[in-house]
């Protein structure tokens, strides 16, 4: 199963990646209880086998454990792997050396000499300021330890500012990683998607299945089976699940039409938005293989539009 590649900044990436927040994270995801290194290694292998060779991680995921696991798995494969990781602008990181040191630590954990994308995890300024931060990132591009620069959770205005600051060094801003799915479409209204398209910035869509809501696994009749942090989310209540039933039903119907799963239809809708790369998580090989199947084919323009209209209510 082949993913298609798209141009992202000055590099080329598959149009679907895998998010690795759950790899090594015991606090939110329960790593080490009902799944562990064996399962995520198998998830990595299944993703790569199905053409999803782009992985997104961060230094804060599992306090570095996600990067360490990914680094270990990369050493075990002969396939070329693309990596995006993230720098967290903590208050005590107030100069360019802080960026250099954080990147060095990430590269050590990942056991690589460079990453494809290095993203700023949050648009916090604190004491460093965006100007110093972007200069530090541009410097790392020039040194070859980063191929291209990204941001995460930046507003349209913040994204424009980062783009302009990087342009002074002839470095493109490649991506803005934001929450985007059929059920979370705020970036279409707040200027982020429009600005990204205007500037040629790719959207990395995290939580593209809305924490599992779009899998069809959660239904009002089985609300007692909802566990963990999802219990606190009103979208996972019986009322919340009832509200999205028409959308889930439509995804299931399209799944039958295209011989795909609900998950694959939801991911393909995101890919159809152009210059959007969904990065669903995968805790086991079944999830990874299913996610990868969201790429390599296309929903019709009519079906894309129908889903877009139906999901506007949420």
pLDDT tens, position by position, 227-260: 666 766 777 777 878 888 999 999 999 999 999 9
Cβ pair 77, 49 in contact under 8 A: no
**247 to 134, 182, 244: CA distances (angstroms):** 41, 9, 5
Domain presence at residue 109: yes
Does the annotation mark 61 as catalytic?
Answer: yes
| Residue position matching structure tokens 């990914």 | 70
Structure confidence at residue 313 (pLDDT)? 74
Domain presence at residue 303: no
Structure confidence at residue 9 (pLDDT)? 82
| Burial class of 260 by CB neighbour count within 10 A (0 to 12, 13 to 18, 19+) | buried
Whichever domain contains 43, its CATH number is: 3.20.20.100
User: 216-224 long-range contacts, Cβ below 8 Å, gap at least 24?
Assistant: 216/248, 216/251, 216/252, 216/262, 219/245, 220/245
User: Residue 278 pairs with which residues in a beta bridge?
Assistant: 205
Backbone torsions φ then ψ of 147, nearest 5 degrees: -80, -40
Domain presence at residue 15: yes
**17 to 129, 158, 222: CA distances (angstroms):** 30, 24, 30
Domain presence at residue 254: no
Structure confidence at residue 227 (pLDDT)? 66
Q: How many helices (H) and strands (E) does the chain have?
A: 11, 10
User: What average pLDDT does the chain have?
Assistant: 93
**Which listed residue (31, 61, 154, 206) is catalytic?**
61
Structure confidence at residue 229 (pLDDT)? 64
Please enumerate in sequence order all residues whose Cβ is within 8 A of that of 233, keeping only pairs 6 or more positions apart, or say none. Answer: 211, 240
Hey, what are 228's tokens? 């963990």
Domain presence at residue 173: yes
Domain presence at residue 304: no
Structure confidence at residue 257 (pLDDT)? 97
Opening angle at CA 68, ends 64 and 71, nearest 5 = 140
**Ramachandran class of 101: left when φ > 0, alpha when ψ lies in -120 to 50, beta otherwise:** alpha
Number of C-beta neighbours around residue 55 at 10 A: 26
Domain presence at residue 77: yes
Domain presence at residue 307: no
How far apart are the C-alpha atoms of 46 and 23, rounded to whole Å?
Answer: 15
Q: Which residues of the chain have pLDDT under 50?
A: none
Opening angle at CA 84, ends 83 and 89, nearest 5 = 145
- pLDDT tens for 105-121 read 999 999 999 999 999 99
Structure confidence at residue 225 (pLDDT)? 65
Number of folded domains that form the chain: 1
How far apart are the C-alpha atoms of 87 and 58, rounded to whole Å?
Answer: 7
Domain that holds residue 70: 5-212+262-297
Structure confidence at residue 196 (pLDDT)? 97
Helix (H) or strand (E) holding 117: strand 115-120
Please enumerate in sequence order all residues whose Cβ is within 8 A of that of 253, keeping only pairs 6 or more positions apart, or say none. Answer: none
């Amino acid at each position: 199963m082949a993913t298609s590649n798209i141009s992202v900044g000055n590099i080329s990436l598959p149009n679907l990646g895998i998010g690795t927040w759950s790899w090594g994270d015991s606090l939110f995801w329960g790593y080490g209880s009902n799944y562990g290194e064996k399962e995520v290694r198998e998830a990595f292998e299944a993703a790569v086998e199905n053409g999803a060779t782009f992985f997104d991680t961060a230094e804060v995921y599992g306090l570095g454990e996600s990067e360490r696991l990914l680094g270990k798995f990369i050493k075990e494969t002969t396939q070329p792997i693309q990596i995006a990781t993230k720098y967290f602008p903590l208050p005590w990181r107030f100069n360019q050396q802080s960026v250099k040191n954080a990147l060095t630590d990430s590269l050590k954990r990942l056991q690589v000499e460079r990453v494809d994308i290095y993203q700023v995890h949050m648009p916090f300024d604190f004491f460093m300021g965006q100007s110093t931060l972007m200069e530090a990132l541009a410097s790392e591009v020039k040194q070859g330890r980063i191929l291209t620069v990204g941001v995460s959770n930046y507003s349209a205005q913040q994204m424009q500012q980062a783009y302009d600051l990087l342009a002074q060094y002839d470095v493109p801003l490649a991506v803005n990683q934001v929450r985007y799915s059929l059920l979370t479409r705020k970036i279409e209204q707040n200027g982020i998607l429009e600005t990204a398209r205007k500037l040629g910035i790719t959207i990395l869509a995290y939580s593209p299945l809305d924490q599992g809501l779009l899998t069809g696994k959660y239904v009002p009749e089985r609300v007692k089976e909802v566990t963990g942090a999802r219990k606190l989310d009103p979208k996972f209540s019986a009322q919340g699940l009832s509200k999205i039933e028409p959308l889930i039903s439509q995804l299931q119907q399209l799944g039958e039409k295209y011989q795909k799963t609900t998950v694959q239809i939801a991911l393909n809708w995101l890919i159809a938005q152009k210059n959007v790369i969904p990065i669903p998580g995968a805790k086991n090989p079944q999830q990874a293989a299913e996610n990868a199947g969201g790429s390599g084919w296309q929903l019709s323009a009519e079906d894309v539009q129908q889903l877009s209209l139906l999901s506007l209510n949420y």
